[in-house]
Structures are given as C-alpha cells and as structure tokens.
C-alpha cells in the first residue's frame, strides 16, 4: 500500500488528523489495531476546550456535538465544607468549556471516515516504523493475518502511550520525562442525572473526588484511591458512601445515587517524550505525552497536536514551505509542558498526598483559598482550564 501520510492509531488524534488532512486534499490511511466496537466504547475523557470544539467544527465533525454537547460556564471547587464557583467567561473574557464524551467524538469521526474516506483499517496492528530518516518511511503492519507494508511520505504516530511509534526514535535522540503519582482514580459511570449542573472538584481530608457527567441522564464520577487498587474491592455501595462523604458540604445538597454501569481504575502519571519528530515521523497525542486527568487536558492536547500537524502538512503540500513542520515538535512541546504544569498543579492541590503531613494539608488549603479569594488567581486557573492559546 502507498499513501501520503500513514497514520498509526484510530483514537481521537489519528481520526481527527485523518479528517483534517482529507479536507486539505492530502491522502492518508489510518491503521487501528483494535475493532471499531472497542475504540467506540472505550471510556475516557469528556471535557473539551473551545479549541477542540473549533477543530471538530473545522473537520466537519461537530454536528452532534453542537446538538448534544453541554456548554459549561465554569467549575466548582469544594473544600473545607465550602463550595466556590469559578466563572470561566467572566474571568477569561468569554471562553468556556463543553462536556461531550470522547466516545462520542470517536463515533462521529469513525462514521464520517467510513462514509467519506480516507481508508480506516481496523484490526491493523502496526509492527514498526522503518526508514523514518528517509524520504520514504514505511509502516510494517499485520492485517487479516498477513504482514503488509504502507509506504508513505510521512508517518503520524497517533498510537497512544502503549503504541510502537516511539520505538522508531534512536535512543540517542529520545528523551522521556516521567512522574508516577502515588495514587490512582477509580472512575464510574452511573445511570443517574448529575447532582450538579457543572463539574465539582472536591478536596477532602479523605481524598479527592470529581463529579462530572456524560448527559443529563448519565453521571461520571471519580475518586482518589491508592495506586494498584482493584475495582472489585469497591462494591457500588462503598463507592457511593465514599463519594458522598468527600462531597459533603455545610449546605442543602445531596449526591444522587443510581446503578453503576462501568467501573475502572486509572493510574495517575505525567509523561512527555521529546522530541515529537524524528525525520518523517511525527508524534501526536498520548503517543507523545500523558497528563494526570485532573486538568482535563489529555484529549485537548491530542487535538492541539494534530491541528498543528495538519496545518504544517497542508502548508508543505500547498506551498512547499516547511517552516511550521520544522517547528512542529518545539511548538507542540511548549503547549504540552504548560498543560502538564497545570495538570500537575491541580493534581497536587486537590489530592491527599499519602506521605504528606499537616503542613502539606495547610498548603493545599492556602492554595485553594488564594484562588477563591483572588480574581487574578482564579483567572489564572480559568485561563489554563479553558485552554491556553496555541501560538501558531
């Protein structure tokens, strides 16, 4: 097989990149090793920055998002029995955020690609990226029991944290930065209307808890648990009791309970691979970076990477100009490190540190009080959460 851009991975990064390239008239092929059913049901993020909503619009994939997405005017910080609303539009000059599940984005992008192209191969496992330093890189992959090759001008490594694209970077040029947080998130989906219109980030002496949602009828909630927790150790009643205790405030508010339909534990880590380009191989999304989910940045970073990559490749094929392509890695990494910094700040401010002491507790409360008492501090949180501008 031959194409202009070989895309490894049919998650949000790979699928959105394919859409943007297709609309720019650039041929590409997406190789996804899982099945369509698997990628469409994988429970992940749901908080979209305005830039992500815009990118899905540019890709012609925002119709259902416009109809079903839930625009939020901010978030609630809950601590020491108090509740504080952070008003994004008032603090950012109008920017805000939208809740729309990643599963729905993937469904929308898959449906479009199967209907209009470019080719999307499920069950196609990329084995290696070869000759990345040459002008004719090749992706070796397994599909329908046969080993095949995809010859390309460029390869986009959109194959997530557990993919194979990073393996094509020679050790001499590859730098990985990693931090594993000493706790995880137990996440649930529940068939019960949200208990609040917006997200609640709760810092409790018992541990962090997050209230979010997927629709007016489905709640999504997370609670901090020790690393390595087995979801089987958390029967539904225990989850609801612990969540209620962590969200408790001195006000008339109760956590709605209902049937839990999904339960999983996610490790908390930060990871950045530098550079994000080697020869004709470009990394995007989780293949290049992982952020702790407290800042809701993972999906939005994947989108910002592929927006830059699509612009850079379109410029190359339209004008021969390689300037944006040559600065791809540096430009994305500036944005990635700022999102990682924000996600790390939110994580350390809101989670009980297992090895922390009373001083650490007071530091967390002092940070939260600064945000809820100072418009400047609140505006800094709102600016980061709703999405820092990408200087392209």
Residues in contact with ligand PHB, counted by CB under 6 A, come to a total of 10
Nearer to ligand PHB, 47 or 156 (CB): 47
Nearer to ligand PHB, 96 or 294 (CB): 294
> What is the rounded distance in angstroms from the CA atom of residue 345 to the CA atom of residue 351?
10
What contacts 386, CB < 8 A, 6 or more positions away? 49, 50, 88, 92, 95, 96, 97
- The CA-atom distances, in angstroms, between 218 and each of 100, 197, 213 are 12, 12, 6
Q: Which of 45, 75, 186, 200 binds ligand APR (CB under 6 A)?
A: 45
Quick one: DSSP state of residue 283? E
Q: Which of 13, 20, 138, 382 binds ligand APR (CB under 6 A)?
A: 13
* Beta carbon of residue 303, minimum distance to ligand APR (angstroms, whole number): 9
Q: Which of 47, 168, 188, 299 binds ligand PHB (CB under 6 A)?
A: 47
Chain mean position to CA 241: 29
CA proximity to 196, closest of 252, 259, 261, 263: 252
Q: Does 45 help bind ligand PHB (rule: CB under 6 A)?
A: yes
For residue 290, give both structure tokens. 């992982």
Quick one: DSSP state of residue 144? T
> What is the rounded distance in angstroms from the CA atom of residue 359 to the CA atom of residue 347?
17
Q: Binding pattern to ligand PHB, positions 172-201, x when CB under 6 A?
A: ---------------------------x--
Nearer to ligand APR, 23 or 34 (CB): 34
* Beta carbon of residue 265, minimum distance to ligand PHB (angstroms, whole number): 14
Segment near ligand APR (CB under 6 A), from 31-39, 208-216, 334-342, 365-373? 31-39
> What is the rounded distance in angstroms from the CA atom of residue 30 to the CA atom of residue 297?
24
Q: In what order do the strands lie in the sheet with 260-274?
A: 82-87, 74-79, 199-204, 207-215, 218-226, 175-190, 260-274, 289-290
Q: Does 306 help bind ligand APR (rule: CB under 6 A)?
A: no
137 binds, among ligand APR, ligand PHB, none (CB under 5 to 8 A by kind): none
Nearer to ligand APR, 120 or 255 (CB): 120
> Which residues are designated catalytic?
72, 201, 293, 297, 385
220 binds, among ligand APR, ligand PHB, none (CB under 5 to 8 A by kind): ligand PHB
Segment near ligand APR (CB under 6 A), from 161-169, 174-182, 218-226, 227-235? 161-169
* Beta carbon of residue 225, minimum distance to ligand PHB (angstroms, whole number): 15
Q: Does 14 help bind ligand APR (rule: CB under 6 A)?
A: yes
* DSSP helix, strand, coil percent of the chain (3-state; round to 5): 40, 30, 30
Q: Does 159 help bind ligand APR (rule: CB under 6 A)?
A: yes
Q: Which of 302, 313, 331, 349 binds ligand APR (CB under 6 A)?
A: 302
* Beta carbon of residue 273, minimum distance to ligand APR (angstroms, whole number): 12
> What is the rounded distance in angstroms from the CA atom of residue 261 to the CA atom of residue 263?
7
What contacts 83, CB < 8 A, 6 or more positions away? 76, 77, 200, 249, 251, 253
> What is the rounded distance in angstroms from the CA atom of residue 33 to the CA atom of residue 74?
37
Q: Does 364 help bind ligand PHB (rule: CB under 6 A)?
A: no
Q: Which of 7, 29, 31, 61 binds ligand APR (CB under 6 A)?
A: 31
Q: Does 210 help bind ligand APR (rule: CB under 6 A)?
A: no
Tell me which residues in 287-306 interact with ligand PHB (CB under 6 A): 293-294, 296
Nearer to ligand APR, 158 or 202 (CB): 158
DSSP string, 176-221: EEEEEEEEEEEEEEESS--SSSSEEEEEETTEEEEEEEEETTEEEE
C-alpha dihedral (123, 124, 128, 134), degrees to nearest 10: -160
Q: Does 347 help bind ligand PHB (rule: CB under 6 A)?
A: no
Residues near ligand APR, by CB under 6 A: 8-14, 31-34, 39, 44-45, 102, 125-126, 158-160, 162-164, 285-286, 298-299, 302
Residues making contact with ligand PHB (CB under 6 A): 45-47, 199, 210, 212, 220, 293-294, 296
């Amino acid at each position: 097989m031959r194409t202009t851009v070989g895309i490894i991975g049919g998650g949000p990064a790979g699928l959105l990149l394919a859409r943007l390239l297709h609309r720019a008239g650039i041929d590409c092929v997406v190789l996804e090793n899982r099945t369509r059913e698997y990628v469409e049901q994988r429970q992940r993020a749901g908080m979209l920055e305005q830039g992500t909503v815009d990118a899905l619009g540019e890709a012609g994939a925002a119709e259902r998002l416009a109809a079903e997405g839930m625009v939020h005017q901010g978030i609630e910080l809950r601590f020491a029995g108090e509740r504080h609303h952070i008003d994004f539009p008032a603090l950012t000059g109008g920017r805000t955020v939208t809740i729309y599940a990643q599963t729905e984005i993937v469904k929308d992008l898959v449906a479009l690609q199967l209907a209009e192209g470019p080719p999307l191969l499920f069950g196609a496992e990329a084995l290696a990226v070869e000759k990345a330093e040459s002008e004719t890189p090749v992706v070796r992959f397994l599909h329908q029991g046969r080993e095949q090759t995809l010859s390309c001008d460029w390869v986009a490594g959109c194959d997530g944290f557990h993919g194979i694209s990073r393996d094509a970077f020679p050790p001499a040029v590859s730098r990985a930065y990693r931090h594993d947080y000493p706790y995880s998130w137990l996440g649930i989906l529940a068939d019960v209307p949200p208990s609040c219109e917006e997200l609640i980030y709760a810092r409790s002496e018992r541990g962090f808890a997050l209230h979010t949602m997927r629709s007016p009828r489905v709640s999504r909630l997370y609670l901090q648990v020790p690393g390595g927790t087995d979801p089987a150790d958390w029967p539904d009643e225990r989850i609801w009791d612990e969540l209620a205790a962590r969200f408790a405030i001195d006000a008339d508010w109760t956590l709605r309970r209902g049937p839990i339909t999904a339960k999983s534990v996610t490790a908390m880590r930060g990871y950045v691979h530098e550079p994000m380009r080697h020869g004709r191989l470009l990394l995007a999304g989780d293949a290049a970076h992982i952020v702790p989910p407290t800042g809701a940045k993972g999906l939005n970073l994947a989108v910002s990477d592929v927006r830059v990559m699509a612009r850079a490749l379109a410029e190359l094929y339209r004008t021969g100009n390689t300037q944006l392509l040559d600065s791809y890695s540096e430009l994305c990494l500036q944005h990635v490190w700022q999102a990682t910094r924000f996600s790390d700040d939110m994580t350390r401010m809101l989670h009980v540190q297992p090895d922390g002491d009373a001083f650490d507790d007071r530091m967390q409360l002092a940070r939260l009080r600064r945000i809820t008492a100072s418009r400047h501090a609140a505006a800094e949180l709102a600016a980061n959460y709703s999405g820092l501008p990408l200087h392209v």
